[in-house]
Amino acid sequence: MKKITLAIGLCLISMLSISCNSKDKCIQDFDEMVTDIELNSDYYTSEDWEMVEASYEDFLESIEEYQDELTTADYKEIGRITARYHKIILSMTSEALEYGIDASSSYMEGYMEEMGDGKDIDVSDEDYEAAMNDALKAIDKLYEEYETDYLD
C-alpha cells in the first residue's frame, strides 16, 4: 500500500511541478490530475489526500502566473475541471456524513437495547436526552476524524 501511496504522490507532484511551462500544459496537467483522482480516489490514504490538496494548491499558484494569457475559453475549461475536483471532495464529505448518521443510529439502537435489556421500560426524558447527547458526541468525533484525515 505504501508503494501505491508513493507512486500516486510522485505522479501528482510531477504533473504540476515539473511540466507547467505554459498555460495550456498547466491546464492539461490539472485535467490529468483530476482524472487520476477520479479513477483512483477509492484507494487514497490520508497522505495521498494531503498530496492531492498540495497539488491543487500548486496548480492554483501555477495558473496564476499565466493570468494575463488566459482566455475566456481557458477560464471555462479551468472552471469545468475545478467543478470535477470539487464534486469528488463533496462526494467524500457526503459519504462521511452518511457514515456518521448510520453510526449514530447504530449507537442509539445499541444504547436503547442495553438500557432496555430486552424488556419494555419507560426511559425518562433525561435519559433519552443524555443518550442523544452521547450519540451527537460520537458523530462529532467521527466528523473530526474525517476532517483530520481528509479535509485538513
Distance (Å, whole) CA 63 – CA 74: 10
Q: Which pLDDT belongs to residue 43?
A: 87
Q: How would residue 147 be classed by pLDDT, with cut points 50, 70 and 90? A: low
* Residue-wise pLDDT tens digits, 76-128: 999 999 999 988 888 876 666 676 677 777 777 777 777 665 555 555 667 76
For helices 46-64 and 23-40, the axis angle rounded to 10 degrees is 160
Q: Which pLDDT belongs to residue 6?
A: 46
Phi and psi at residue 45, in whole multiples of 5°? Answer: -95, 175
Give the burial class of 152: count Cβ atoms within 10 A of its Cβ; 0-12 exposed, 13-18 middle, 19 or more buried: exposed
Q: Which pLDDT belongs to residue 78?
A: 93
* Residue-wise pLDDT tens digits, 22-53: 899 999 999 999 999 999 988 888 888 889 98
Instruction: Read off the amino acid at residue 79.
Output: G
